Structure 1
Amino acid sequence: MLYRKASLAAVSALTSAFGFAATAHAQAFYLQEQSARASGRAFSGEVADTGAASLWWNPASIAGMTDAEVVASASVILPRGEVVDTGTLIRRPGGTFAPIGGDSVSRNPINNGVLPSGAVAIPLGDRVAVGLAVTSPYSFTTDYSETSWARYSADKTKLRTIDIQPSLAVAVTDWLRVGAAANVEYTDASLSNALPNVLATLPDGRQELKGNGWDLGWTAGFQMHNDFVTVGFSYKSAIKHNLKGDLTVSGLVGPFATSNMALSDIEANFYTPAQQILGARFNLTDRFTLNTQVVHYNWSKFDAIRLGAPVNAAIPENYRDTWSIAGGFDYAVSPSLTLRAGVQRTQTPTRDGERDARVPDSNRWNFGTGASYQVTKHFGLDLGANYVDFTDASIDRVTAAYPGTAAQTPILTSGELRNAKAFVLSLGGHFGF
């Protein structure tokens, strides 16, 4: 019975870790702000552009470089929105369905954050280059109040990843560039949520899970170009993340008290999605470039979170594959100043009927504008600003605490994501030598 309840607590805790990054900016818990230049045109041409700033999207971007380059950027992410209870009910053991209680509106549960990234590229002769990108593609922090109506789904959650991408690129011909890279990724998660006690008058219990691990993926791509157009394509593999950590359950009383525990070496695994990225840049004039980019995300790989011994359980996620499409432009006002803008439309991988307060994601529009200014021959600045507008979406996934036991406590979730938006300000610099 102890392991059964440990399994239940671990499943509930772990699932709250990998969600609710949606309103931070990108879809589900993927963040795409890996370049200030890219942010300025709403990520509309990165797979087809050149230089270290595009290395995350396509390792072929550095092939044929004649000078070494270093880029660094940081994005300040300011999410806003409400997660609103519209009639959620809970049935405790021996009772009838009653309102969940607590604060009916959770405002701005995602913390403001700063997302850094950087890359370096070094040519080895006229055609070969090596590079290294360091990014954080899956990172966020949420903080629901202990009295929020969503407390049994999510309380405090922190997810951090560091992706280290060493790359090799070759200009095979004057019109073809190819590249390949490894993605060495470190993941660290710390999360908690409330557990209902047998009576509503009793304080809630609490569970917390901490875990981390190193995992490996890969990226490969190519670019074809002439004086008028550059077409780029890359494939970023799915990554199976394997975490090991500790689970603590506390504050349960009465018949639930035997579930209080501290377990070590809990194992879990899940997948982050593969991406297929296709884009193009059209040089309409010497000054004006039109950009477009389409991304297919294999979010269906995130079908479940699986836990090993001693839990030996899995919880379904049932994400769907999604698309994003973007268009934008770059306009060289002068040799020193380039202006840019773009718009992006992205689908959510969450499904109606299966969306909960852990991942209140929705479809969104991303509007971006920015500029680059070449301060000196070797140093320049990149600026970007984005406004992201999210569609209101239902939060309606039926869940249960202690399922399959005499203490099963069903929760009929009825809520909504409302007025969600994000402001993103990006600043970067590039240095050639």
Structure 2
Amino acid sequence: MMGTIRRRSLRGLARSGVSTAILCAGVAGASAGAFGIREQSTEAQGLAFAGAASGSGGVSSMFWNPATVTMRPGWVTEQNLSFINLSAKITPDVGTNPAFGRLGDSGELGQGAIVPAGATSYQINDRLWVGITSGAPFGLVTKPRQTWSGELYGRSSRIFSLAFNPVIGFKVNEWLSVAAGPNIEYFKLVLRQAFIPSPVFNPAALPSSGLKGDSWGVGFTAGALITPFEGTAIGVGYRSSVHHDIGGQLILPGALAALGGDIKAKLNTPEKLSVGLTQAITPVARVNLGFEWDNWSRLGLVNIVSAGARAAAPPLTLNYKDGYTYSIGGEYDWSPALTVRAGVAYESSPIDFSNRSVRLPDGDRVNVSVGGSYRWSEKLTLNVAYSHFFVDKGRILAGPGRDYNVQNVVFAGVADSSADIVSVGFRYVFGEPVAAAPAPLVRKF
């Protein structure tokens, strides 16, 4: 294997190995499947996001279903802040190229991140509402040790996104509300990994190469809220794919720097369909159910086009599968001022052995969450939530015949991951409450 590598010429490495070394993998894993971030509502998080599309997340439920904007009268804002602590370690396994296998495991590659999210709704009259949400739908960071056995396939990954989603909601009648609006999204990525600069090299002292790029894109959200009976709310929400024309740079070390330069790529983020049910069991207790489908399978082949770089850029093969999430949660009004909640969710990840990389050691997961709300005053409510994610261990294999292949160097490993998330937030009501139908809306019989 190493002899094959040494026989490559410098030109061959630049043309066939440079871009593969940079682009061989996706981006950092997050608290939702693949690199999605679900932490948009502290209230919904306490329920493991069960019923988020039917209003269990308060005003912030607009992220899943914009029609929930009609559920609260007057002018209301919610602000949330989540600390996502991803823990992951990749241990090399039998089959890893010996020259790299001796470099050891990844160490702690998970990185903590603080994610803000906000939502505001304003009632114009008894039929019409406007609102806006902001937050990071995708992202997070992974960073293994600089020198490790999988360094050719990843040294660091950073994803940053920011989305603004203004919506207009309309109360059609006493039991049906609809809403829609544009979704304006910024997306940025920075990837680094080890690079083989010549046919003769020391695996323990390789330089790094990198890829960075960013883009603005626009999609839309739409949804409906149905309240057929008193104490029952059913919500369906849709977030469209956002098309990104990413412009960036391929960065190479040392004498090969001149082979780098500008590149372009087209990336479409996954659609999300959310369904929620909130049902009152007693005047002080509610049960919530949730389902989410994320169309990650649209992230198959991402072509990289040179816009100035001299090094060849093979396509990025992701081949993700669709993601499915099922959740159930309950909440109880302990007193007029205090509400407690808990929930559990199971997510079928878009990542499995066929497409798992060292950058994204994702797997199927179980989310166990608890939370609470304290009504400080008539205007101010404080929220808190905690979640732990149990992620299945996952095998990784990169090299010849696999989607991720750098210089035919085989890497085999086992990823062990988990995550802990703490969120805090508040809801504030401006001015005096507007006289309007209570939320959720109920049919009068």
TM-score by length of 2: 0.87
Structure 1: which amino acid aligns with 2:118? Answer: G
Show CA shifts across 1:373-407 (max 9, x none).
Answer: 11010001010000111111101132599x99xxx
Counterpart of 1:415? 413
Counterpart of 2:115? 115
2:27 is equivalent to residue 29 of structure 1 = no
Show CA shifts across 1:64-116 (max 9, x none).
Answer: 532111110111111223111013434xxxxxxx3424542223202111111
- Going from structure 1 to structure 2, the CA distance change for 1:261 and 1:339 (only over 3 Å counts) comes to same
Counterpart of 1:40? 46
The runs of at least 4 consecutive aligned structure 1 residues that moved more than 6 Å come to 1-4
Q: Which moved more, 1:125-134 or 1:193-202?
A: 193-202
Show CA shifts across 1:288-337 (max 9, x none).
Answer: 10000011111110102221234564122111112110000111111211
Counterpart of 1:205? 207
**8 A Cα contact 1:129 1:170, kept in partner:** yes
Q: Which moved more, 1:201-210 or 1:275-284?
A: 201-210
Q: Where do residues 218-233 of structure 1 align in structure 2 (5 Å cutoff)? A: 218-225=220-227, 226-233=229-236
2:87 is equivalent to residue 49 of structure 1 = no
Counterpart of 1:314? 315
Other structure's SS at 1:414 match: strand
Give 1:2 deviation, angstroms.
Answer: 6.4
For residues 389 and 13 of structure 1, the distance between their equivalents in structure 2, rounded to whole angstroms, comes to: 30
Structure 2: which amino acid aligns with 1:25? Answer: S
Structure 1: which amino acid aligns with 2:42? Answer: A
Q: Where do residues 313-392 of structure 1 align in structure 2 (5 Å cutoff)? A: 313-392=314-393
Counterpart of 1:296? 293
For residues 377 and 3 of structure 1, the distance between their equivalents in structure 2, rounded to whole angstroms, comes to: 69
Gaps of 5+ in 1: 91-97, 252-256
Q: Where do residues 184-263 of structure 1 align in structure 2 (5 Å cutoff)? A: 184-196=184-196, 197-201=198-202, 203-225=205-227, 226-251=229-254, 259-261=256-258, 263=260
Q: Which moved more, 1:150-159 or 1:27-36?
A: 150-159
- Work out which of the residue numbers 56, 72, 83 in structure 2 matches 1:76: 83
Show CA shifts across 1:182-207 (max 9, x none).
Answer: 11000122221111242343631321
Give 1:161 deviation, angstroms.
Answer: 0.2
The alignment's C-alpha RMSD in Å is: 2.3
**8 A Cα contact 1:80 1:108, kept in partner:** yes
Counterpart of 1:254? none
Give 1:7 deviation, angstroms.
Answer: 7.0
- Going from structure 1 to structure 2, the CA distance change for 1:162 and 1:399 (only over 3 Å counts) comes to farther
Q: Where do residues 19-168 of structure 1 align in structure 2 (5 Å cutoff)? A: 19-21=27-29, 24-49=30-55, 51-63=58-70, 65-90=72-97, 98-168=98-168
Structure 2: which amino acid aligns with 1:20? Answer: A
Give 1:9 deviation, angstroms.
Answer: 2.8
**8 A Cα contact 2:156 2:359, kept in partner:** no
For residues 379 and 363 of structure 1, the distance between their equivalents in structure 2, rounded to whole angstroms, comes to: 37
For residues 133 and 44 of structure 1, the distance between their equivalents in structure 2, rounded to whole angstroms, comes to: 19
**8 A Cα contact 2:103 2:148, kept in partner:** yes
Tell me the percent identity.
Answer: 25
TM-score by length of 1: 0.90
Show CA shifts across 1:198-234 (max 9, x none).
Answer: 2343631321122111011111110100313111101
Show CA shifts across 1:258-284 (max 9, x none).
Answer: x44364331112222111111100111
For residues 64 and 80 of structure 1, the distance between their equivalents in structure 2, rounded to whole angstroms, comes to: 37
Other structure's SS at 1:44 match: coil
Structure 2: which amino acid aligns with 1:173? Answer: N
